[in-house]
Amino acid sequence: MELKPVGLGLLLLVLLGSCGAQFPKWRGTSPGQPQERPVQQAGVQWPVRDPVSGVLVNPEDPLSVQLKQVMQGPVKKLTWRFPQAPEKPKQPVVHFEPRQPVSAVSVAADCGENSVYVEVKKDLFGTGELINPSGLSLGGCAVTGEDSAAQVLIFEAELQLCNSVLTTTADELVYSFILQYAPEPLARLPIVRTDGAMVGIECRYPRLHNVSSNALLPAWIPYASTVTAEQRLVFSLRLMTDDWQYERPSNQYFLGDFINIEASVMHYNHVPLRIFVDSCVATAAPDANAVPRYMFIENYGCLIDAKLTGSRSHFLPRVQADKLQFQLEAFEFQQQRSELIYLTCFLKATPTSAPAPTDAMHKACSFTANRWTAADDNDWVCGCCDMSCGLRDGGSKSPGAGMSVSLGLLIWTGINWTFLKEVLL
């Protein structure tokens, strides 16, 4: 009975020894000391678990490289874009005013008894670019002479030659010529340095002359009374400068310019007169009935251009009875190669002592501010401008002495090519 406790103690000792043999790495450790991890053999890597899929992955597997990146933590998304081009520096403010074209006075004509003499500067446009004489002609006639020192080309021809056009009026014979410049392209180049141009030239000759030696013919009235009874009137239509002080030396205009026109009458042995512009028509040929035609004053003195086109054309307030001034905004005909425009106006005059100096058939009316106004400060006479101010039977004019007077204008569609090139570059 006394040997049983001893046998139990031996049994416990055997069990403890067996446990120590199975776990040799625990030997010599105490509960307070940290436990050592099993030493991993060199060259052997243990499988790890994928935190996303939960599957064991061998680190030596090439497919597990991405797993290593996942285990290292989130990777910032890579963004890339094309580099931006450097910004162009801002252009500084430059004070620039384009040069305004100036009309060149480069053509002069002298009308003789049976011939015309014309001088043309080789600097036709006033730009410093000399024209080629071979491109210049007077109604098809070539240059007949040249002044090299003065840089002037000369034409001389009889009145009936060079495709002249003869027009007969009540008091005058008018020979019209066209001076034309058609530049030729430069050698083997499809360009020209100057623009083409056309200039109208007119020679006017009175139809009535006193060729007697002042001999008195038998008459029922004295000679002095005969002279007084002639009551000769001289009408004129002139282009004026901007200040209205002088006659304009050139008939060249640009679109958008104002054409200052002055109608006047000179009376010899006559009572004082008041002048009116009965009608005005613009044509592309000297003939007032040519087509196309544009009537801008009609109905006995109604300037309708402003109402039809919205322009600023108007009569100026009258300052002198025998003169009447108006401004016409420059224009051109559509689909017309010729830039020469002819203005033909019927002028008439009445005595200033008339009981009614102005009436529906003797007026000068402008359309401004959406209403009609008169140049003589009596707007009521313009009330018929939107209707009919009188009847014309067979083309007869309103009462009063009058005649038709013509002007030739050169209207430019724009600036010449040389100037345009300087602006565009």
Residue 379 in this model has a pLDDT that exceeds 70: yes
Average pLDDT rounded to a whole number, residues 371-375:
95
Residue 194 in this model has a pLDDT that exceeds 80: no
Minimum mean pLDDT among 176-190, 229-243, 370-384, 393-407: which range? 393-407
Looking at residue 403, its pLDDT comes to: 74
Whether the predicted model's global pTM rises above the 0.85 cut: no
Average pLDDT rounded to a whole number, residues 116-128:
84
Looking at residue 301, its pLDDT comes to: 96
Residue 195 in this model has a pLDDT that exceeds 70: no
Q: Which residue has the tokens 């009462």?
A: 399
pLDDT in tens, 229-271: 345 678 888 999 999 999 888 888 888 889 999 999 887 656 7
Residue 12 in this model has a pLDDT that exceeds 50: yes
Is pLDDT larger for residue 411 or for residue 76? 76
The rounded percent of the chain whose pLDDT value lies above 90 is: 22
Neighbouring C-alpha atoms within 13 Å toward the C-beta of 185:
5
Looking at residue 224, its pLDDT comes to: 35
pLDDT in tens, 262-307: 999 887 656 788 999 999 998 888 888 888 889 999 999 999 999 9
pLDDT category of residue 414 using cuts at 50, 70 and 90: very low
Domains of the chain by start residue, with CATH: 100-207 (2.60.40.3210), 232-425 (2.60.40.4100)
Average pLDDT rounded to a whole number, residues 5-21:
52
Looking at residue 376, its pLDDT comes to: 92
Q: Which residues have C-beta within 8 Å of that of residue 397, sequence separation ≥ 6?
A: 278, 346, 348
Average pLDDT rounded to a whole number, residues 395-416:
56
Looking at residue 227, its pLDDT comes to: 36
Residue 141 in this model has a pLDDT that exceeds 80: yes
Average pLDDT rounded to a whole number, residues 203-218:
56
Mean model confidence pLDDT for the chain: 74
Looking at residue 243, its pLDDT comes to: 92
Compute the C-alpha angle 335/293/138, nearest 5°.
70
Average pLDDT rounded to a whole number, residues 329-357:
81
Q: Does residue 245 contact residue 414 with C-beta atoms inside 8 Å?
A: no
Is pLDDT larger for residue 105 or for residue 419? 105
pLDDT category of residue 417 using cuts at 50, 70 and 90: very low
Q: Which of 313, 322, 286, 291 is nearest to 406 (CA)?
A: 286
Three-state SS for the chain is CCCHHHHHHHHHHHHHHHHHHHCHHHCCCCCCCCCCCCCCCCCCCCCEECCCCCCEECCCCHHHHHHHHHHCCCCCCCCCCCCCCCCCCCCCCCCCCCCCCCCCCCEEEEECCCEEEEEEECCCCCCCCCCCHHHEEECCECCCEEECCCCEEEEEEECCCCCCEEEECCCEEEEEEEEEECCCCCCCCCCCCCCCEEEEEEEEEECCCCCCCCCCCCCCCCHHHHHHHHCCEEEEEEEECCCCCCECCCCEEECCCEEEEEEEEEECCCCCEEEEEEEEEEECCCCCCCCCEEEEEECCCEECHHHHHCCCCEECCCCCCCEEEEEEECCCCCCCCCCEEEEEEEEEEEECCCCCCCECCECCEEEECCEEEECCCCHHHHHHCCCCCCCCCCCCCCCCEEEEEEEEEEEECCCCHHHHHHHHC
Find the Cα–Cα–Cα–Cα dihedral 270, 273, 275, 276, rounded to 10°: -110
| Beta bridge partners of residue 321, listed in sequence order | none
Average pLDDT rounded to a whole number, residues 73-92:
71
